[in-house]
Amino acid sequence: MSSEPYKRYRETVFEKLQKAFRQEKEIVIASRWIANAIANGGWIYTSGTGHSHMLAEEIFYRAGGFARVIPILDPALMLHEDASGSTEVERREGYAKKLFQPYTLTSKDVFIISSNSGRNSVSVEMAQIAQEHGAKVIVITNYAHSKSVDSRHSSGLKLFQVSDIFLDTFGEIGDAAIDLDGLHTNVGATSTVVGAALLNAIMVQAAAMALENGVVPEVFNSSNSDVGGSHNDSLISKYKADIPML
């Protein structure tokens, strides 16, 4: 392995991506659920707390992304208003119920939730609530980290244990992957890059499956292309009432 730290990080990411993409069964199953949701008029709900909220945003209003995506993004659980405060909020039992109040999940829907540790109460309860409403729950998590820590939810459960299927990002315990002499902790988190790659792979496979079944999924174009603006405007007009964040 190269001694240059950036090359070590590159090689570490490549190795984790290779491992992640060996989860072929899980990728295909998750893709099939999403394709079925699209075919049956369902929705793709998605969420995440802390840095994992970026994975919810990754598939929302994205060039090449499905239009029927509803992200559940709460400022108190994100980083742009009170980063340290979000750490406290994601541990609160009962908070997840508030997040679902504007939405009505059904068995036609899929809920994708990402959490590196999978140990905090909000993520666990969001998955539980989605399952109670019959939605399929797909989890993106760091299995090694999750197994190494205790749940912060009173049930003792972690996110991968309340999923219908979970995909492992194969991250290090603590996420950061590169050790440097003279520094007391590692640098270079990998959860976002691997999680985003897995999510996009699932969406690509789901689109192909939908087409095989005779369903043409509604997909956003790039708003910065010459043809993307008018195409996207029609989708925004169609779904703005259902997805206020549009």
Angle, CA of 197, 102 and 118, to the nearest 5°: 40
Largest CA distance in the chain: 58
Name which residue leads in pLDDT, 1 or 240. 240
Residue 115 domain flag: yes
Tell me: pLDDT of 19 over 60.
Answer: yes
Say which residue the tokens 């949701």 belong to. 37
Q: Is residue 56 part of a domain?
A: yes
Asked whether residue 157 is assigned to any structural domain, the reply reads yes
The model carries a pTM of 0.95
Rounded Cα gap, residues 112 and 97, in angstroms: 16
Distance CA 184, CA 213 (A): 53
The answer to whether residue 246 sits within a structural domain is no
Number of domains in the chain: 1
Residue 221, domain CATH: 3.40.50.10490
Question: Which among 46, 32, 242 is positioned nearest to 137, based on CA atoms?
Answer: 46
What token pair was written down for 245? 């964040």
Least confident of 73-77, 147-151, 186-190: 73-77
Give the pLDDT mean for 101-110: 96
| Domain assignment present for 245 | no
Answer whether 117's CB lies under 8 Å from 150's CB: no
Residues 124-174 have pLDDT tens digits of 999 999 999 999 999 999 999 999 999 999 999 999 999 999 999 999 999
- Cα–Cα dist 76/148, whole Å: 27
Asked if residue 218 lies in contact with residue 235, where contact means CB atoms within 8 angstroms, the answer is yes
Pairs from 36-41 (Cβ < 8 Å, separation ≥ 24): 37/68, 37/108, 37/109, 37/110, 37/136, 38/66, 38/68, 38/206, 38/210, 38/215, 38/217, 39/210, 39/213, 39/215, 40/108, 41/108
Pairwise CA distance, residues 162 & 138, whole Å: 9
Flag whether 244 is in a domain: no
What's the pLDDT band for 2 if we cut at 50, 70, 90? low
Residue 1 pLDDT: 47
Residue 210 lies in a domain: yes
pLDDT for 195 beyond 90: yes
86 lies in which domain range? 5-239
Q: Is residue 130 part of a domain?
A: yes
